[in-house]
Copies of this chain bind each other. A is one copy, B any other.
Amino acid sequence: MSDPDDITVRTVQPPRPPQRARCDLTTHLGAIELPNPVLTASGCAAAGRELDRFFDVAELGAVVTKSIMLKARSGRPTPRMAETASGMLNSIGLQGPGIDAFLEHDLPYLRERGARAVVSIAGGSVAEYTELARRLRGAAGVSAIEVNISCPNVSNRGLVFARDPAAAAAVVTAVRRQSAPSVPVFAKLSPDVTDIVSIAHSCVAAGADGLSMINTLLGMALDLDTMRPVLAGVTGGLSGPAIKPVAVRCIWAVHAALPDVPIIGMGGVRSGLDALELVLAGASAVSVGTAIFGDPGAPLRIRHELETALVDRGFARFSDAVGYGHREQT
C-alpha cells in the first residue's frame, strides 16, 4: 500500500517550451485574397478613421464600411439604441453622407492608410443598388462589395429584400452585372427568415460570389418609465453576443448546403474563440461589430486571439479550419 503522505509532487514532465508556431492567416473570398480573416462589421466601424486612432486598421483583413446609399441620409430620430442582455438594439436608419462623399473622402482614406475596403451598399430599389455598383466600378481601392439587402423594397410594400428570395436575387444580379469581375460581391443575409438556406441558394444562383451573415435580428424594447418603445424607430436590430448562437446556426446550415461558397460570418463575436466558432461552422472571414462599442481595440485583439487559438489547435493554415466542425467523425 502506498503512503498517503507521499503526495509531494515529483516532477514528471518538463514544462513545455513556449509556443512559437505561427499560423498562415491568409484567406480567400472569391477572387480576392486577404492577409487575415478578421474584418469589421458594416455600420460598426464607420469607414475606419475613428478606429485608426486605436490601432492600425491596415492590420485587419479588411474594413467593411458602413452601408452607403446613393444620397446623403439623415437616419432616424433618437433614441437610436437600447442595451439588452448581452446585446443591443439599434435603429440608426442608415445615416450616411451618400456615395459621392464616400468616394471622395472615405475610400481614399482607407487606400492611403494601406487598408483594404469591403464596401457595403444599401438601397431601396434594384435601380438604386445598380447605380451604386456602377459608381463603385471605377473607384480605386474596392476589394469587395457587400450588398446589404436588409432594406425595405420601396416597390414591394417595403418588404425587406433579404426576406424574399426573388427580390434578393434581383439585387444581387444587378450588382454582380455592374461590378468588375475582379471584385467579389457578397450578399448579406438576414436571419429573420423561415429558411435562410433557400435565400442563400437564390443569391448564389443570382451570381453572388459569397455570402455574409448574419445581419441583426429584428427586436424591440419598451421603456418601463415612459411605457413606450425605447427606440424612436420602434423596432431595431438586435446584435451582440446574445445572437451568436443564431449566427453559428445560420453559417453552419448555409455552409453545409453550399460548401464552396465563401462566407463572411458575423454576429456576437467578441473574442478569438468566438471567431473560431464561426470559422469552424464555415466562415472564411469573421466581422466584428458590436464588440467594437465595448472595446475599440477588439478587431485587432481578436485577430491575435484567433491566431493563438488556431496555433493551439495545431492548424498551420487558417483555411484548414474553415468548416472544420463539419468533418466526418472518425
Contact = CB atoms under 8 A, between A and B. Distances in A.
A241 interface: yes
Contacts of A238: 245-246
Given A227-B325, A277-B224, A249 B194 contact: no
Interface string A173-214: 000000000000000000011110000000000000000000
B220 A252 contact: yes
Nearest to A221: B245
Interface residues of A, number: 45
A245 B222 contact: no
A158 interface: no
B277 A248 contact: no
A89 B245 contact: yes
A35 to B, nearest CB: 24
30 contacts: A84-B242, A85-B86, A85-B87, A85-B240, A85-B241, A87-B242, A87-B245, A89-B245, A163-B195, A194-B194, A217-B217, A217-B246, A219-B245, A219-B249, A220-B281, A221-B245, A222-B277, A222-B280, A222-B281, A222-B325, A224-B273, A224-B277, A224-B309, A228-B325, A228-B329, A229-B252, A229-B325, A235-B252, A242-B242, A242-B243
Given A217-B217, A224-B277, A235-B252, 17 more contacts: A84-B244, A85-B87, A85-B241, A85-B268, A86-B86, A86-B242, A217-B246, A219-B245, A219-B248, A220-B281, A221-B245, A222-B325, A224-B280, A224-B309, A227-B313, A238-B246, A242-B243
Give 5 closest A-B pairs by Cβ, nearest first: A219-B245, A85-B241, A242-B242, A86-B86, A220-B249
